[in-house]
C-alpha cells in the first residue's frame, strides 16, 4: 500500500500586519483615535492587538507527489533507520500539527482523515535552508530536491519576510 503526503504551506504575516497597523495609527491618530480618547489608547496597546496568525496559502498536493526518499530524509516517514540510509537523522520527524496551525483547512483536513492520517509534522523555510545537503549519502539530496521539493521551496520563498521563520510546511501522511 502506498503512502501519500498531504498538507499546506502556511504563512504568518505578523510583520506585514504590524506594519499596516502602525501605518493606520500614524494616519488615523489625529482624525479618529485622539478624539475617541486617544490618550487612553497608546500606540503600543494598539500594536499589541496584532496577533501571530498562520494562514494556509498553498495545498502541497499541487507541488509534491509520492517521494519516499523525501518523506524519509525530512520527516522520517517510510524509512525505519534514516541514519543508516541517509547518514543523518530525519530533519523534522513527528512534530505533530502545530497548535497555532490554520483551523481551516489545515487542522480540519487533518482531523477529517481520522485514523488514516499519521506522522504529522512541520518544518520552517529557515530549517529547510539550514539543511546540510552534503550530509545525505549518495544522490539522495539531488533526488529529493529534483522531485518537486525544489519547486516547493521556491513557492515558500515567495511568502518569506526574510527571516524564513514566517513560512512553514505543515504535513501529514496516509497509507
What pLDDT is recorded for position 142? 65
Asked whether residue 31 is domain-assigned, the answer is no
Asked whether residue 169 is domain-assigned, the answer is yes
Work out the angle at residue 55's Cα, subtended by the Cα atoms of residues 120 and 13, and round it to the nearest 5 degrees: 125
- pTM of this prediction exceeds 0.85: no
What pLDDT is recorded for position 144? 64
Asked whether residue 17 is domain-assigned, the answer is no
Asked whether residue 33 is domain-assigned, the answer is no
Cα of 19 vs its chain's centroid, Å: 22
Give the chain's largest Cα–Cα span: 68
Asked whether residue 67 is domain-assigned, the answer is yes
Strands 118-124, 54-59: pairing kind: unpaired
Number of domains in the chain: 1
Return the CA Rg of the chain.
20
From CA 42, how far away is CA 58, in angstroms rounded?
37
What pLDDT is recorded for position 116? 93
* C-alpha pair distances (Å), 153 with each of 9, 102, 157: 10, 20, 6
Give the three cell numbers for residue 85: 540510509
Asked whether residue 36 is domain-assigned, the answer is no
Its domain, for residue 78, covers 4-12+52-174
Asked whether residue 26 is domain-assigned, the answer is no
Asked whether residue 27 is domain-assigned, the answer is no
What pLDDT is recorded for position 141? 63
What pLDDT is recorded for position 79? 67
From CA 117, how far away is CA 144, in angstroms rounded?
22
Mean pLDDT for each consecutive 10-residue tract of the chain (175 residues)? 90 85 78 66 78 90 83 81 70 93 90 91 95 68 70 93 95 92
What pLDDT is recorded for position 50? 80
Quick count: other Cβ atoms within 10 Å of Cβ 101? 20
Amino acid at each position: 500500500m502506498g503512502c501519500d503526503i498531504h498538507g499546506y504551506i502556511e504563512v504568518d504575516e505578523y510583520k506585514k500586519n504590524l506594519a499596516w497597523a502602525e501605518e493606520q495609527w500614524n494616519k488615523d491618530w489625529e482624525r479618529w483615535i485622539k478624539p475617541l480618547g486617544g490618550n487612553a489608547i497608546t500606540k503600543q496597546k494598539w500594536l499589541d492587538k496584532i496577533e501571530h496568525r498562520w494562514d494556509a496559502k498553498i495545498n502541497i498536493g499541487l507541488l509534491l507527489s509520492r517521494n519516499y526518499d523525501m518523506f524519509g530524509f525530512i520527516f522520517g516517514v517510510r524509512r525505519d533507520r534514516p541514519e543508516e540510509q541517509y547518514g543523518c537523522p530525519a530533519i523534522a520527524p513527528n512534530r505533530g500539527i502545530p497548535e497555532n496551525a490554520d483551523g481551516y483547512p489545515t487542522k480540519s483536513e487533518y482531523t477529517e482523515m481520522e485514523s488514516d492520517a499519521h506522522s504529522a509534522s512541520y518544518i520552517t523555510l529557515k530549517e529547510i535552508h539550514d539543511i546540510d545537503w552534503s550530509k545525505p549519502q549518495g544522490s539522495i539530496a539531488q533526488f529529493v530536491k529534483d522531485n518537486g521539493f525544489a519547486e516547493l521551496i521556491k513557492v515558500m520563498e515567495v511568502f518569506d519576510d526574510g527571516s524564513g521563520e514566517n513560512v512553514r510546511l505543515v504535513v501529514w501522511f496516509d497509507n
